[in-house]
Amino acid sequence: MTDSPSGTQLTRVLARKDVLALAFGAMIGWGWIVLTGSWIQSAGSLGAIAAFILGGIAIVLVGLTYAELASAMPQVGGEHVYSYRALGHFASFFCTWAIALGYVSVVAFEAVALPTVVEHLFPGYAVGQLWTIAGWDVQATWVAVGVAGSLAMMAINYVGIRTAALVQKVVTLLILVVGVMFITGALFEGERATMEPLFNTSEGVMGGIMMVLIMVPFMFVGFDVIPQAAEEINLPFREIGRVLMISVILAVFWYALIILGTSLMLDAEALGASSLAVPDAMQAVFQAPWAGNLMVLAGIAGIITSWNAFYVGGSRAIYALAHSGMLPAFLAKLHPKHRTPTNAILLMGLLSCIAPFFGRPALVWLVVAGGLGIVIAYLFVSLSFVVLRIKEPGMARPFKVRQGMTVGVVAVLLSLGLIALYLPGSPSALAPVEWTLFLGWMGLGLVLYGWSRARYGVAFSDKMMYRELAGADPYPGR
């Protein structure tokens, strides 16, 4: 038996606006900047909107299970705590390590996305060829932009959650202002005729919608950052669940309105010729190049919000595992002044800095491999929700979902359906390099888990977990 890996505590400083910006900013990211045109081409204008509404309903159901559990167990680590209480020691590790892959992959993804989108503002800036990966030339200046961004985001998160939250609010506000300019302008300047075809019937109406629907869940990844940072949220427990759900609903409206605005401004021919449909649509609204560049800047802002939020979520997931003795103790170190999980943040920063050296092909590898980890965690959380409704019906649930068992069972089935999208036989199955990333991460986790279990013992993990779950309210009087 050993002492706790960390003798300090996280601090509760995040207010309602901080939490909302954290989750909403994580979900909107920058994918809408580059993918909206392909969504409309695949499903038609109304078909793409329908896909996001249908997919949003599915995410809302999964989000409801998170909302109830987050309000009932507002401890750092989120999924780690829920799955431990419902499913036990190893299930808790597997679930949390899987979602940690999702967070790490997004953090690394943004380090590749930043230099990619900067190219649209400064064409030809990438010089100094280093090597070629998957047919793509990796340039030194291109890599430098990604590494510099990684180091900047790591520094922001290192010095405290307050700084990270402030950056998140300011940058999310920028995205919202530009988005409102675009949507209102498109509603006044756009033409109904440009929205044709409303539905793409080349693969059947539902076929086109399904082509977009399989991408929808990954556009909403980010609301799960709220449970990860639960011990740093200074809100009544019931409000944690409410803010989580509000963030998901806002993201559904955001994507639907961005698709609507783009389809009002660009017809099928213009969409086919556009590499960045939303900035081109913004330029069409105001008839000026500056407007398109402003939207590209909003895309960069989306990179920052997503990057920042997943630094928070990933570092807290890794910290929670280490704090409970499931990973080496040095990853549970908290900074004595800033109260941030410094070594976990540094680890994520290192992995983020490595990603740009693999070039643009790493974008797809990271998204797909990390996406599987995230939907596995969704399954474990949904199962935990159902199990705890059966095992502990009397547990205090400040935010209690109505028709809970029905919602929980449907969330489990939806999570299984999402996992099936990655498996062999599915049109979106993982490629060999993506399986290598996923299995390599999980294999590394099993090695570290085995070492930590031998070093600290299961009894130590039980002691650390039950200290938080034994029933004592960590914030008396709340």
| Amino acid sitting at position 436 | T
Per-residue pLDDT of 221-271, as tens digits, reads: 778 777 777 677 777 777 877 888 888 889 999 999 999 999 999 988 888
459 or 353, greater pLDDT: 353
Q: Give the pLDDT score at 447.
A: 93
pLDDT, tens digit, 9 for 90 and up, residues 363-392: 667 777 888 888 899 899 999 999 999 999
DSSP 220: S
Across the strands, what pairs with 381?
A: none
Angle made by CA atoms 60, 65, 69, in degrees to the nearest 5? 140
Q: Could you tell me if 469 and 85 are in contact, meaning their C-beta atoms sit under 8 angstroms apart?
A: yes
Residue 257 and residue 34 in contact, taking contact as beta carbons nearer than 8 Å: no
Tell me: pLDDT of 448 over 50: yes
Give the range among 6-10, 220-224, 279-283 with minimum mean pLDDT. Answer: 6-10
Better-scored residue on pLDDT, 6 or 291? 291
* Weakest-pLDDT range from 6-10, 14-18, 55-59: 6-10
CA 446 to each of CA 99, 287, 350, 439: distance values in angstroms, whole numbers, following the listed order: 14, 56, 21, 10
User: Binning pLDDT at 50, 70 and 90, where does residue 185 land?
Assistant: very high
Inform me whether the pLDDT recorded for 460 exceeds 70. Answer: no
Say whether 265 sits in a helix, a strand or coil: helix
Q: In the numeric block, which tokens belong to residue 210?
A: 């399904």
**48-67: b or e for each residue (b if 16 or more CB lie within 10 Å)?**
bbbbbeebbebbbbbbbbbb
Residue 258 has a pLDDT of 94
* Residue 363: per-residue pLDDT: 67
pLDDT for the residue 428: 66
When computed from its CA atoms, the radius of gyration of the chain, rounded to whole angstroms, is 22
Burial 338-349 (b: 16+ CB within 10 A, else e): bbbbbbbbbbbb
- pLDDT single digits (tens) 82-137: 898 899 888 999 999 998 888 888 888 888 888 888 887 788 888 888 888 877 78
Residue 298 CB contacts under 8 Å (≥ 6 apart), including other chains: 33, 174, 175, 178, 179
Residue reference for tokens 């005729």: 193
139 falls in which pLDDT band (50, 70, 90)?
confident
Query: Across all residues in the chain, what is the average pLDDT?
Result: 82
pLDDT band of 3, cuts 50, 70, 90: very low
Calculated CA dihedral for residues 388, 394, 400, 403, nearest 10 degrees: 70
| Residues whose CB falls within 8 Å of the CB of residue 83, separated by 6 or more in sequence, listed in order | 91, 92, 95, 96, 380, 381, 383, 384
Q: State percent of the chain over pLDDT 70.
A: 89
Which string of b and e fits 457-474 if b means at least 16 CB within 10 Å?
A: eeebbeebbeebeeeeee
